[in-house]
Chain A
Amino acid sequence: MSDYGSRGNKDRSITKSSDRLTAPPQRSEPRGTPRDASAPFLIGEAMTGGYGRGADILHSCTIAAEAGQIAVIVGPNGAGKSTAMKAIFGMLKLREGAVKIDGDDITGLSPQDRVAKGMAFVPQTQNVFTSMSVEENLEMGAFLRRDDIKGTMAQVYDLFPILKDKRRQAAGELSGGQRQQVAVGRALMTQPKVLMLDEPTAGVSPIVMDELFDRIIEIARTGITILMVEQNARQALEIAHKGYVLVQGANAYEGTGEELLANEEVRRTFLGGR
């Protein structure tokens, strides 16, 4: 407890565990598999910070993703999952820690500058231009590019064929799942190296969710690093190369998706399984 000082809500019940939680791991010793010698492609290292001048939400939190792999952040409500992702994207100021992409320290960059560095972010809500057509949404995604975007657009349409049929329709008229596809497609238009998704399956049906996860795997296969926050922890960990369980803004567990799914404590406390 002393690690948190007077911060946080101290509500232990959200973890449904009487056990004392594991202390946030030290920088050099993550739990689970030992980190391999080469530095990960994207890493938010020992991030501490909060919104504006408010209290810290993240406490020395470390999230990393290897090139072309899927990293997933899970955890109970209010654990700071989305905040951790926003911190990596530069939407809040870090008091401590650093964010690095491909060895470059980008801690001081604004979100827009990070887009130019090859990061793309899909917010959880309001992630499409509702009054604009699907095609215009994709064009706006590629706003920073000055080259021909037709090829990338064709790739997005290949990935999400339904969008090609609806390309002249306003994005606001689409169903929830289709909107998410537009949102992901918009982000892909910058030809990012890292795609960050904040709860891409929030509010869509289970069938659409499976479909979206399949698409995300496909995107990762093209070499794009994926970092996502997910509420549907079990399904997300199933497709994850790497999983992070956050509790109160700090790393509680980390490991490969399989390891976390197999971990007795993680299952009991976060996945609701036996």
Chain B
Amino acid sequence: MDPLNAIVALSNFVLIPALAYGAQLALGALGVTLIYGILRFSNFAHGDTMAFGTMITILSTWGLQGMGVSFGVLPTALLALPFGILGTALFLLLTDRTIYAFYRKQRAAPVILVIVSMGVMFVMNGIVRFVIGVDDIGFADGERFIINARDFRDMTGLEEGLAVRTTTVITLVTAAIAVALLFWFLNRTRTGKSMRAYSDNEDLALLSGINPERVVAITWIIVAALATTAGVLYGLDKSFKAFTYFQLLLPIFASAIVGGLGSPIGAIAGGFVIAFSEVMITYAWKKVLGYMAPEALEPDGLVQLMSTDYKFAVSFAILIIVLLFRPTGLFRGQSV
């Protein structure tokens, strides 16, 4: 029995990674949920929007690095992030003007818009791969660790090391700031309230003189900011690869639906539910159980419920369970 080492091992391999991954999913799911609440369709292009935003940010990062600009111990990508957001916002507004606006005018059914967004997804996917390529790209620079595993061991004398990476802390801090800003905007500002009103009751919003085109444009800008931030944080934490971002669509949608589509709080909760489930189910518990269980009961196998290759099955399973038993999600959003 060695609970201290067990806790450290659990934090190092499960809690901290899941927290960072959860924050990234939450930011992604917030974008999905905003589009669903205000534009009333599931945006399949969201994963590729994240990829697009990250691509612009990476290109800007290289540009900044080329000019010799750096952000000290922090990654240069954080300085490039505003450019990424700006570029993505312009791109999304252009997409809306040229594509979605047409279907909105026709009052097309949501399912048609979903298919349209799939078309947009393929185009974005193509653009990103064409511009930046299909390979893995690491673009994190600056200090890698805040606490190094070896230093932690030396410091505490424990067997287990605890590593806290800079990108993890940046992810959590940035996500917290983004969420706080979003909630302040939606609940305190006139424009934010008009967005909620439009999402709640479109006709009544029109009767109150709220301009729908303005609401839609602002939604896209916010979505661009959220998606780019989520994409850049994910890329800093792991690495950037167009295909991985496309695959992120599933856990992000699962997060949004588990939390309740259209509910911003739900998207955040859903993000962490999915992240923790994914990490905990694919984690090999042998080490932690080894510290916790009496010697005689120490497990021989890895005690891994599922191989990490199957991590998407976890999101899928949770999604199906939620849709079966609580279709409106944890926070009573709209049912699908």
Contacts and interface: CB of A to CB of B under 8 A. Distances in A.
A257 interface: no
Contacts, number: 57
B203 A140 contact: no
A115 interface: yes
Given A115-B209, A140-B210, A143-B209, A132 B204 contact: no
A254 B196 CA distance: 43
B6 interface: no
Contacts of B207: 111-112, 115, 121, 123
A115 B208 contact: yes
Interface string B165-206: 000000000000000000000000010011011001101111
A132 B193 contact: yes
Interface residues of A, number: 21
A3 to B, nearest CB: 33
Nearest to A113: B209
Contacts of A132: 193, 196-197, 200
Q: How large is the interface on B (under 10, 10 to 19, 20 to 34, 35 or more residues)?
A: 10 to 19
A141 interface: yes
A123 B193 contact: no
Nearest to B37: A131
Contacts of A121: 207
Contact of A129 (B190, B196, B206): B196
Interface string A112-154: 1001100001010011111110001001110110000000000
A18 B72 CA distance: 92
Nearest to A139: B193
A247 to B, nearest CB: 28
Given A139-B193, A140-B194, A143-B194, A129 B209 contact: no
A179 interface: no
Contacts of B204: 123, 126-129, 186
Nearest to B200: A129
A131 B333 CA distance: 11
Interface in B146-182: none
Given A116-B209, A123-B203, A132-B193, 5 more contacts: A111-B206, A123-B207, A128-B204, A140-B193, A143-B208
23 contacts: A111-B206, A112-B207, A115-B208, A116-B209, A123-B203, A126-B203, A128-B201, A128-B204, A129-B201, A130-B200, A131-B196, A132-B193, A136-B193, A139-B190, A139-B193, A140-B197, A143-B190, A143-B197, A143-B209, A144-B208, A144-B209, A186-B208, A190-B209
Interface of A: 111-112, 115-116, 121, 123, 126-132, 136, 139-141, 143-144, 186, 190
